[in-house]
Amino acid sequence: MADGVLGSLPPAAIELAYLVAAVFFIQGLRDMTHPRTAERGNKLSAGGMFLAVLATVLYFEILSPLLLAAALLIGGSVGVWLAVSVETTEMPQLVGLFNGFGGGASAVVAGAELVDTVDPATTASLSVDLTVSAAIAGIIGSATLFGSLIAAGKLHGLVGDPPVSGKAGQALQGVFLVGAVVAGGFLVVQTGPLGGDPLSAWVPSYWVLVLGASLFGIVLVYPIGGADMPVVIALLNSMSGLAAATTGFVLNNTALIVAGTLVGAAGLILTFIMCESMNRPLLDVLFGTMGSGGDEDVEDIYEGSITETSPEEVEMLLEVAERVVIVPGYGMAVAQAQHAVAELAELLTEDGVDVEFGIHPVAGRMPGHMNALLAEADVDYEQMRELEEINPKFSQTDLVIVTGANDVVNPSANEDENSPIAGMPVLEVWDAGSVVVNKRSLSSGFAGIPNPLFAKDNTSMLFGDAQQSMQELVSAYKENR
């Protein structure tokens, strides 16, 4: 790269800018661990990235100023448009796409650096450090890109069941992964050009690597069901960070190494937290079968044991309740009922009722999905409680309202050791005095199993769309205040 506007400055100048950016990244990540400081953390991280990009652009003459400005304008405009136009309920799909874009960019940049480093007029070999880093970045980045596209498609309902699954699907995964690794190995061990042209040896093997890794990413994510999507999103996030960090080694770019490592480590930690929340090993998530969709008709199982209720009857329970816990799920997100739920909570709080929200780590389609939805509806962060904090309080709770949740409140996890979700930490709502479950029907959740909670003596079913049901409940409560 040629020197740019700041090219006359010592190399330490760019490293200092990267160091400041890294401090911004670290503090931003720290702030994002708590809802109250998450917004500040996001701004700090964005500021750090802006500084790193600006310093790189000014120090190195990578592209012509006009072309670079056009690229930044287009990319920034697309980012702003997505941030403004995408609904909060569709945020998991957007996060999946962002993960994919990050991985894809890493694979393309690593490949471009290989091409740029090789001079066809010479017979010089590429260094092992460069080829190893490029191979790793290519494999992880390509798998992340296409795996994320499949994940986003499944979350949005555009991708259905895989044409090949089970042992045949796993065999395909092995074939594509081995193919990518073999191509990467050829890239690394190739010590000289073929036919006097370095590009004829190194570059084709890299793009074969990219093809194999891309197909691997597709067949890896395709069979995974919706119940496991929070884990998949976190894992893909980690992979995008690792791809970026490896590309940083390809480019010898400190800022990219630091940022990618932080994202990769944080994503991996979150992945294992999600697995622990589901009591499932990561390999079971990637190669297991749970979460294929809940298509089984289980209404006959509950015949004669279901108590149906209405918004008016639930309002009567609210009149005498001193403590209420609301448990949101993905059904609330789909129906966009968070504002009605928040209004109900506000009314109850004004009337002296102790209201809290029980949030399961894997409720929704990505970690923190329910928290983000409730925050959008101006629910106080202090009312949101994690599973470990809220479970001991259910026995002192008068009424629990479950809206759009299923598997995360399934007592089979505690009561049936043969259940697919046995041992999974769940919200033990059945310990409350009364439970109202708001669902469209008695259909299974993503785990594809019945929920005995629906038939318990202290449970009533409020059937209907979450938004409509909650709005009717709010109206009934207002009328009788």
* pLDDT, tens digit, 9 for 90 and up, residues 411-470: 988 888 888 788 888 999 999 999 999 998 888 777 678 899 999 999 999 999 999 999
Angle between helices 254-278 and 35-59 (to 10 degrees): 150
**Nearest Cα residue to 99 out of 328, 336, 367:** 367
Active site residues: 407
Cα first-last separation, the chain: 71
* pLDDT computed for residue 403 by the predictor: 95
Three-state DSSP state, 93: helix
Distance CA 99, CA 237 (A): 5
- DSSP letter for 194, please: B
Distance CA 452, CA 444 (A): 11
* pLDDT computed for residue 215 by the predictor: 95
Alpha carbon of 16 to those of 29, 132, 255: distances in Å? 20, 27, 10
Q: Are 150 and 114 in contact (CB under 8 A)?
A: no
* pLDDT computed for residue 349 by the predictor: 95
Task: Indicate the pTM of the whole model.
Answer: 0.76
Alpha carbon of 320 to those of 192, 310, 435: distances in Å? 81, 16, 14
Distance CA 29, CA 260 (A): 12
Residues near 235 by beta carbon (within 8 Å), at least 6 away in sequence: 267, 268, 271, 282
* pLDDT computed for residue 192 by the predictor: 52
* pLDDT computed for residue 202 by the predictor: 61
Token pair 């929070």 in the structure block, residue: 230
* pLDDT computed for residue 2 by the predictor: 47
* pLDDT computed for residue 281 by the predictor: 79
Q: Which domains does the chain have, with CATH numbers?
A: 86-287 (no CATH), 298-480 (3.40.50.1220)
The one-digit pLDDT tens for each residue of the chain (481 residues) are 445 555 556 778 888 999 999 999 999 988 887 777 888 998 999 999 989 888 887 777 666 778 878 888 898 899 889 888 887 777 788 888 989 999 999 999 998 888 777 655 554 567 788 889 999 999 999 999 999 999 888 877 788 777 777 788 888 889 999 999 999 988 887 755 444 455 555 667 888 999 999 999 999 998 887 667 778 888 999 999 999 999 999 888 888 999 999 999 988 988 888 887 777 778 777 776 554 444 445 555 666 688 999 999 999 999 999 999 999 998 898 888 999 999 999 999 999 999 999 999 888 777 778 888 898 888 988 899 999 999 999 999 999 999 989 889 999 888 888 887 888 889 999 999 999 999 988 887 776 788 999 999 999 999 999 999 999 999 999 988 7
Both tokens of 108, joined, read 């393309």
As separate numbers, helices (DSSP H) first and strands (DSSP E) second, the chain gives 17, 8
What's the chain's length in residues? 481
Q: Are 332 and 373 in contact (CB under 8 A)?
A: yes
Distance CA 443, CA 67 (A): 54
Q: Which long-range CB contacts under 8 A does 113-122 form with residues at least 24 apart?
A: 113/250, 113/251, 114/202, 114/203, 114/206, 115/199, 115/203, 118/198, 118/199, 118/202, 118/203, 119/198, 120/197, 120/198, 120/199, 122/198
Distance CA 344, CA 342 (A): 5
Kindly calculate the radius of gyration of the chain based on its CA atoms and give it in whole angstroms.
26
Q: Are 416 and 448 in contact (CB under 8 A)?
A: no
Token pair 């309740």 in the structure block, residue: 321
